[in-house]
């Protein structure tokens, strides 16, 4: 009988076999990684386009002369104005002067909209004796700009608007308040964090974190668990950031809320399907302002708090600014 002696090579395989096995494992891991990256990119690239190049709404209302005629008929003399932002982009809006000694409110619309989206806010504030500037955000309405950046450029656009009110309209830049809706609310909070001349902010339905919003929407659309959706959302923001040349982490109001020291009123609906009301609750908890309030409207969907609140909403908004400015 032939004897068999076990050796390290016979037990563990030859060096050539071990090398081949290692190569196979490396190839498998690499292909798996490439597949994951490809899969993420497949979803993230088109989603990034939705994020920074959304399909605009209400262009017909803006281009139609009917709204302008209606405003004039009701006695609201909103004058067309335009100004250049810090990077040369031309922004278009309407301005109504009630008096050079009166405080001024800048009203900011949300994604996909334009100045007509927030005209009810503007009319209400005009009736309360405030000067009002409402303008199309960059990449919206008649304003120039290619990408929507959720505050990266927009907050500096508002700074340019404040400079316009001071230099061209002769108004006091320390008597400025901001009203924002959705993205406009997040932008208003970002401006207040860096510009201490802003006296007050009324923020309706702001986001606290874009990643949280993107993950939430991804789960709604796909019905997949958060562990799978969150990497896609994060990749989407990174790709969008590379395309628009910015870091979306810098536009999250939750990150700068402690720097806001002016009075802030947050409004949000419990039925908001786009940005959950816990975004406003988080911002409220983090605010550095000693004068802050939050109003959660039962049953209100995204950006519809003004509809659900009705006259009470309008009175509370005006009362908030009257208290800050002691306006009469």
- One domain for residues 30 and 87: no
Q: Residue 222: which pLDDT band, with cuts at 50, 70 and 90?
A: confident
Same structural domain for residues 42 and 110?
no
Q: Is residue 308 part of a domain?
A: yes
The whole-angstrom separation of Cα 131 and Cα 300 is 29
40 and 115 fall within a common domain: no
Give the rounded percent of residues in the chain with a pLDDT score beyond 90: 74
The confidence band for 221, taking pLDDT boundaries of 50, 70 and 90, is confident
Q: Does residue 5 lie in a domain region? A: no
Q: Which of 219, 245, 271 is where one domain is finished?
A: 245
Decide if 309 is inside a domain.
yes
Q: Does a structural domain hold residue 299? A: yes
Q: What is the dihedral of CA 23, 28, 30, 33, to 10 degrees?
A: -160
More confidently predicted of 76 and 5: 76
- Per-residue pLDDT tens digits for 110-127: 999 999 999 999 999 999
List strands edge to edge, sheet with 131-135: 79-84, 90-96, 131-135, 104-108, 176-181, 198-204, 264-269, 292-297
Residues 181, 104 within the same domain: yes
146 and 275 together in one domain = yes
Residue where a domain terminates, one of 223, 245, 267: 245
> What are the tens digits of pLDDT across the range 70-89?
888 889 989 999 999 999 99
Residues 228 and 294 both lie in one domain: no
264-269 and 176-181 as β-strands: parallel, antiparallel, unpaired? Answer: unpaired
Residue 2 has pLDDT above 80, yes or no: no
278 and 310: one domain? yes
Mean pLDDT across the chain, nearest whole number? 89
Q: Are 148 and 53 in contact (CB under 8 A)?
A: yes
In a domain, 1, yes or no: no
The alpha-carbon radius of gyration of the chain (Å, integer) is: 26
Same domain flag for 183 and 304 = yes
- Give the per-residue SS3 of the chain: CCCCCCCHHHHHCCHHHHHHHHHHHHHHHHHHHHHHHHHHHHHHHHHHHHHHCCCCCCHHHHHCCHHHHHHHHCCCCCEEEEEECCCCCEEEEEEECCCCCCCEEEEECCCCCCHHHHHHHHHHHHHCCCEEEEECCCCCCCCCCCCCCCCCCHHHHHHHHHHHHHHCCCCCCCCEEEEEECHHHHHHHHHHHHCCCEEEEEEECCCCCHHHHHHHHHHHHHCCCHHHHHHHHHHHHHHHHHHHCCCHHHHCHHHHHHHCCCCEEEEEECCCCCCCCHHHHHHHHHCCCCCEEEEEECCCCCCCHHHHHHHHHHHHHHHHHHHHHCCC
Are residues 174 and 48 part of one domain?
no
Whether 97 maps to a domain, the answer reads yes
What domain count does the chain have?
A: 2
- Judge whether 292 lies within some domain: yes
Give yes or no: residues 191 and 237 share one domain.
no
Domain that holds residue 23: 15-52+210-245
Residues 204 and 215 in one domain: no
Q: For residue 121, give the CATH number of its domain.
A: 3.40.50.1820
Query: Is residue 187 situated within a structural domain?
Result: yes
294 and 257 within one domain: yes
pLDDT higher than 60, residue 328: no
Q: Is the pLDDT of residue 34 over 90?
A: no
**Distance between CA 107 and CA 133 in Å, rounded?**
6
The CA distance from 115 to 315, in Å, is 21
* pLDDT at res. 219: 86
């Amino acid at each position: 009988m032939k004897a068999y002696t076990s050796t390290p090579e016979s037990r563990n395989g030859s060096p050539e076999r071990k090398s081949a096995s290692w190569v196979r494992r490396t190839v498998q891991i690499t292909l798996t990684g490439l597949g994951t990256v490809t899969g993420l990119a497949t979803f993230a690239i088109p989603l990034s386009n939705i994020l920074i190049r959304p399909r605009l709404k209400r262009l017909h209302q803006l281009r139609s002369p009917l709204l302008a005629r209606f405003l004039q008929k009701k006695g609201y003399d909103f004058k067309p104005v335009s100004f250049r932002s810090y990077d040369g982009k031309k922004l278009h809006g309407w301005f109504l002067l009630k008096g050079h000694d009166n405080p001024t409110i800048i009203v900011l619309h949300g994604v996909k909209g334009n100045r007509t989206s927030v005209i009810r806010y503007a009319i209400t504030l005009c009736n309360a004796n405030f000067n009002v500037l409402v303008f199309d955000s960059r990449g919206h309405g008649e304003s120039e700009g290619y990408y929507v950046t959720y505050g990266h450029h927009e907050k500096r656009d508002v700074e340019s608007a404040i400079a316009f009110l001071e230099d061209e309209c002769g108004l006091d830049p320390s008597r400025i308040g901001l009203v924002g809706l959705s993205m406009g609310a997040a932008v208003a909070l970002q401006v207040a964090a860096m510009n201490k001349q802003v006296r007050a902010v009324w923020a309706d339905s702001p986001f606290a974190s874009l990643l949280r919003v993107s993950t939430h929407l991804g789960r709604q659309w796909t019905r997949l668990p958060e562990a799978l959706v969150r990497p896609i959302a994060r990749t989407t923001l990174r790709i969008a950031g590379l395309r628009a040349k910015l870091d979306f982490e810098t536009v999250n109001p939750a990150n700068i809320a402690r720097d806001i020291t002016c009075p802030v009123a947050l409004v949000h609906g419990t039925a908001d399907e786009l940005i959950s009301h816990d975004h406003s609750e988080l911002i409220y908890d983090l605010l550095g302002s000693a004068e802050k309030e939050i109003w959660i409207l039962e049953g209100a969907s995204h950006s519809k708090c003004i509809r659900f609140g009705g006259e009470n909403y309008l009175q509370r908004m005006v009362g908030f600014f009257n208290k800050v400015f002691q306006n009469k």
